[in-house]
Amino acid sequence: MVDAGATLLLLDLGGEDLNPSQKLSLAYGSRAFLVGKLGLTGFALPILLIGQNHSLFGTKFKVSDVLSILVLIYATLNIYQLILLGQV
């Protein structure tokens, strides 16, 4: 939720979303952007949580390893966006 709100604020201030799928949804307005962003998270997160103990493509890595990395990336992105908002 922080990501979506911060993204919309940064866009209003002249920023740009670098994610091609989000750029496409933004072409249809803020509501489509929010539905797309929250819908993707709402769809992917339960699947990742259900499969967290499964092996990833037959390797020694588990889905939970990827989930941990995604959480770290997402947290870093949120912090970066808040820093950007603090500079405005």
| CA angle centred on 44, ends 48 and 60, rounded to 5° | 30
pTM: 0.76
Would you say how long the chain is, in residues? Answer: 88
Q: What is the pLDDT of residue 12?
A: 92
The model's pLDDT over 12-22, given as tens digits with 9 standing for 90+, comes to: 999 888 889 88
| Residue-range domain boundaries for the chain | 2-86
Q: 6 φ, ψ to 5°?
A: -65, -40
Q: pLDDT grade, residue 8 (50/70/90)?
A: very high
- Does the structure show a pLDDT above 90 at 80? yes
- Specify burial of residue 7 (Cβ count, 10 A radius: 0-12, 13-18, 19+): buried
Cβ contact 33:25 at 8 Å: yes
Per-residue pLDDT of 37-68, as tens digits, reads 888 888 988 998 999 999 988 899 999 999 99
